[in-house]
């Protein structure tokens, strides 16, 4: 049974101290930490704050980009956005959470890249389940192409445990206002993943490696923060079971963090992509590249992505979320 579950420890016994936690605190602490074997480090160090670009709108920081975090290799070291904040200052990302310590704010991460784990944590092995393996690689920043308060462009390498380059990447991150929506702002993520000449590179997920239950995660993943399980919905569905695995044009996550309500609206599925969504176990949304079948980046070719996120204060309903989605992608029918 445990092999089919998200990698988390069992609920605490009824007589434990955590059994008397209020429901929200108990949900946040679900399962406790799932950490690497004893003896490995879990702390993060990113160096001086000046090393990590700040993304600003009207002179106010809305996100910090952790370019080269020094992490345990089993956490899947990679650049990530955290903290991301609403206009009112509510933090809407989580990093190194106790339940899945390899979840890193908002980032690109895939668990199976030609056999290398670039997600972090245990690897799902067919007919075995989640297993600690020495298969963790790194997504490394290799150089800036543009660096400004509202836009960053850089080059990266997706490397296997031996440092061999599996994919190269060009990535741009931009932030800006959403005209007509003063309580919201937009995050734009554009990238191209390129395979080396002479070698196709496969992208897979726990689902494509045999795990049941819609665990097709891997792609652009946003680990949110919430006081209690969030609401997740699209134009056509409501709730985790209805939206996980869907291919709706937009998806919203509505939550409270520290008592402040916020809503995230995501757009930008590519051909073959699906939404991977968690709400009951933890709050997270992923543009999943290989939800139910592997995908391949052909030798010498590129895979492009273009994702947009509206970050809004307040608990938005379906109509308001649809309006934000339309503002993010005005050319979408």
Give the model confidence (pLDDT) of 59-105 as tens digits: 999 999 999 999 999 999 999 999 999 999 999 999 999 999 999 99
* Lowest-pLDDT range of 25-39, 128-142, 312-326: 25-39
Among left, alpha and beta (phi > 0; psi -120 to 50; other), residue 46 is alpha
pLDDT at 315 over 60: yes
Q: pTM for this one?
A: 0.88
From the list 74, 64, 65, the residue with the least C-alpha distance to 43 is 74
Instruction: Look at residue 211 in the predicted model and tell me its pLDDT.
Output: 96
Instruction: Look at residue 125 in the predicted model and tell me its pLDDT.
Output: 97
Instruction: Look at residue 19 in the predicted model and tell me its pLDDT.
Output: 26
Helix (H) or strand (E) holding 26: helix 23-28
- For residue 126, give both structure tokens: 């067919």
Instruction: Look at residue 332 in the predicted model and tell me its pLDDT.
Output: 66
**CA-to-CA distance for 163 and 166, rounded, in angstroms?**
9
Give the model confidence (pLDDT) of 194-204 as tens digits: 999 999 999 99
Q: How far is CA 41 from the centre of its chain?
A: 22
**CA-to-CA distance for 52 and 66, rounded, in angstroms?**
5
Give the model confidence (pLDDT) of 44-67 as tens digits: 444 444 479 999 999 999 999 999
**CA-to-CA distance for 157 and 151, rounded, in angstroms?**
20
Contact call for residues 316 and 252 (beta carbons, < 8 A): yes
Per-residue CA distances from 79 to 207, 281, 298 (Å):
25, 25, 24
Neighbours of 39 (CB within 10 A): 5
**CA-to-CA distance for 159 and 117, rounded, in angstroms?**
10
Spell 240-268 as b/e; 16+ CB within 10 A means b.
beebbbbebbbbbbbbbbeebbbbbbbbb
Listed in order, strand segments (DSSP E) in 149-210 are 151-159, 165-177, 184-194, 201-204
**CA-to-CA distance for 297 and 275, rounded, in angstroms?**
20
**CA-to-CA distance for 276 and 255, rounded, in angstroms?**
17
**CA-to-CA distance for 170 and 190, rounded, in angstroms?**
8
Phi, psi of 223 (to 5 degrees): -90, 110
Question: Between the CA atoms of 295, 328, 243 and 275, what dihedral angle is there, to the nearest 10 degrees?
Answer: 20
Provide the pLDDT confidence category of residue 117 given band limits of 50, 70 and 90: very high
């Amino acid at each position: 049974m445990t092999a089919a579950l998200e990698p988390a420890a069992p609920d605490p016994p009824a007589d434990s101290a955590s059994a008397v936690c209020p429901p929200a605190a108990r949900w946040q602490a679900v399962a406790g930490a799932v950490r690497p074997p004893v003896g490995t480090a879990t702390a993060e160090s990113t160096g001086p704050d000046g090393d990590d670009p700040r993304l600003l709108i009207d002179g106010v920081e809305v996100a910090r980009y952790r370019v080269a975090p020094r992490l345990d290799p089993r956490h899947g070291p990679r650049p990530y956005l955290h903290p991301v904040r609403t206009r009112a200052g509510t933090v809407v990302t989580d990093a190194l959470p106790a339940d899945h310590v390899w979840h890193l704010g908002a980032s690109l991460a895939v668990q199976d890249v030609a056999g290398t784990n670039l997600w972090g944590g245990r690897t799902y092995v067919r007919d075995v389940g989640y297993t600690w393996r020495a298969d963790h690689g790194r997504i490394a920043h290799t150089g800036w192409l543009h660096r400004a308060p509202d836009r960053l462009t850089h080059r990266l390498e997706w490397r296997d445990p031996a440092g061999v380059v599996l994919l190269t990447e060009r990535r741009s991150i931009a932030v800006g206002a959403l005209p007509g929506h003063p309580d919201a702002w937009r995050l734009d993520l554009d990238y191209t993943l390129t395979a080396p000449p002479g070698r196709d590179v496969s992208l897979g997920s726990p689902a494509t490696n045999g795990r049941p239950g819609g665990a097709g995660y891997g792609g652009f993943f946003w680990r949110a923060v919430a006081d209690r399980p969030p609401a997740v919905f699209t134009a056509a569905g409501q709730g985790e079971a209805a939206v996980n695995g869907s291919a709706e044009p937009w998806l919203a996550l509505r939550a409270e963090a520290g008592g402040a309500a916020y809503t995230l609206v995501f757009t930008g599925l590519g051909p073959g992509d699906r939404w991977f969504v968690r709400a009951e176990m933890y709050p997270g949304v992923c543009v999943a590249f290989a939800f139910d079948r592997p995908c391949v980046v052909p030798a010498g070719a590129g895979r492009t992505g273009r994702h947009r996120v509206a970050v809004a204060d307040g608990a938005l309903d379906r109509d308001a979320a649809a309006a934000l989605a339309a503002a993010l992608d005005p050319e979408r029918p």
